[in-house]
């Protein structure tokens, strides 16, 4: 039997099974405090074949490029001076086979160095799941040779370790807005304040001259240092005229437990965009 190279898929958002090869992971962010020094994740195999799962750690945080697209660069070791927890967090077990329709708990134990300073420390947990093969279409099986792709689905979730009383906040640059085709695009540079990453939600809306909202959108954000995301607001084909774009970033996340979202004042701005 011949097999093609492993295809690796990276998920930065909520995990989902892909062709029954992946596992569902919950929660999609782990927060550990210095008092407990432990956390856990639950793996669920929704497929019909066993899934071979590996759990590893890396360092990385969301960043934006010049176009405002968000990515998550990962590295095995953190650059010097970064508040990394990768060296002293361990997963048990690191390798496991999850039977079909079954769950498995993975425990994350922290052994921080003596005298660890108060602050927030970061890591990413990478869950790699392998299952059966996906057939490759278009190849004639005339010599009893089967060709397929063995998929490895990788889910990446955030891990945060906190020690001491910590604060967060945002400083925001001016809002910029443009209209292209059937959408308004809003951008506002966000700079973290305090000792902890800022977890929140950006909500944007477009308002016409009559005060009616003609489009709205929201985006979860995690500002570790700086972030300048491009937020797309679908509005369709707008009549010519001037429109007001409003953007608010608040320390609220519906996908995270309230106790892990540090509260901070919201930041707001508005800008005009002209449609010709």
State residue 1's pLDDT score: 39
Domains and CATH numbers, the chain: 2-163 (2.60.40.10), 168-275 (2.60.40.2360)
What digits encode the pLDDT tens for the residues 21-42? 579 999 989 999 999 999 999 9
pLDDT at 199: 97
The CA distance from 174 to 37, in Å, is 40
Strand segments (E) across 93-207: 95-98, 103-110, 119-135, 147-163, 168-172, 176-180, 183-187, 190-194, 198-207
185 forms bridges with which residues in the sheet?
A: 178, 232
pLDDT tens digit sequence for 235-250? 999 999 999 999 999 9
Q: CA 175 to CA 170: how far, in whole Å?
A: 14
Residue 145: is its pLDDT beyond 70?
no
Q: pLDDT (tens digit, 9 = 90+) per residue, 184-242?
A: 999 999 999 999 999 999 999 999 999 999 999 999 999 999 999 999 999 999 999 99
Mean pLDDT of the chain: 88
Q: Are strands 103-110 and 89-92 parallel, antiparallel or unpaired?
A: antiparallel
């Amino acid at each position: 039997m011949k097999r093609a190279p492993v295809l690796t898929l990276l998920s930065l958002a909520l995990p989902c099974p892909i062709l029954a090869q992946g596992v569902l992971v919950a929660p999609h962010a782990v927060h550990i405090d210095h008092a407990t020094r432990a956390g856990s994740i639950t793996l669920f195999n929704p497929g019909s074949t066993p899934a071979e799962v590996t759990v590893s750690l890396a360092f990385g945080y969301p960043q934006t490029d010049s176009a405002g697209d968000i990515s998550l660069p990962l590295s095995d070791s953190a650059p010097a001076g970064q508040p990394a927890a990768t060296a002293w967090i361990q997963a048990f077990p690191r390798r496991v086979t999850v039977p079909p329709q079954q769950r498995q708990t993975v425990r994350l134990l922290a052994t921080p160095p003596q005298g660890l300073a108060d602050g927030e420390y970061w890591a990413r947990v990478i869950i790699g799941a392998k299952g059966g093969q996906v057939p490759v279409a278009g190849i004639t099986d005339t010599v009893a040779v089967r060709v397929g792709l063995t998929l490895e689905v990788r889910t990446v979730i955030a891990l945060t370790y906190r020690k001491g009383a910590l604060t967060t906040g945002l400083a925001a640059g001016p809002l910029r807005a443009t209209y292209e085709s059937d959408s308004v695009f809003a951008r506002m540079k966000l700079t973290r304040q305090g000792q902890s990453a800022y977890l929140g939600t950006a909500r944007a809306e477009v308002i016409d001259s009559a005060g009616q909202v003609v489009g709205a959108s929201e985006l979860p954000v995690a500002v570790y240092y700086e972030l300048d995301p491009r937020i797309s607001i679908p509005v369709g084909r707008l009549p010519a005229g001037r429109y007001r774009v409003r953007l608010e970033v608040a320390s609220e996340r519906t996908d995270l437990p309230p106790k892990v979202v540090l509260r901070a004042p919201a930041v707001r701005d508005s800008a005009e965009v002209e449609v010709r």
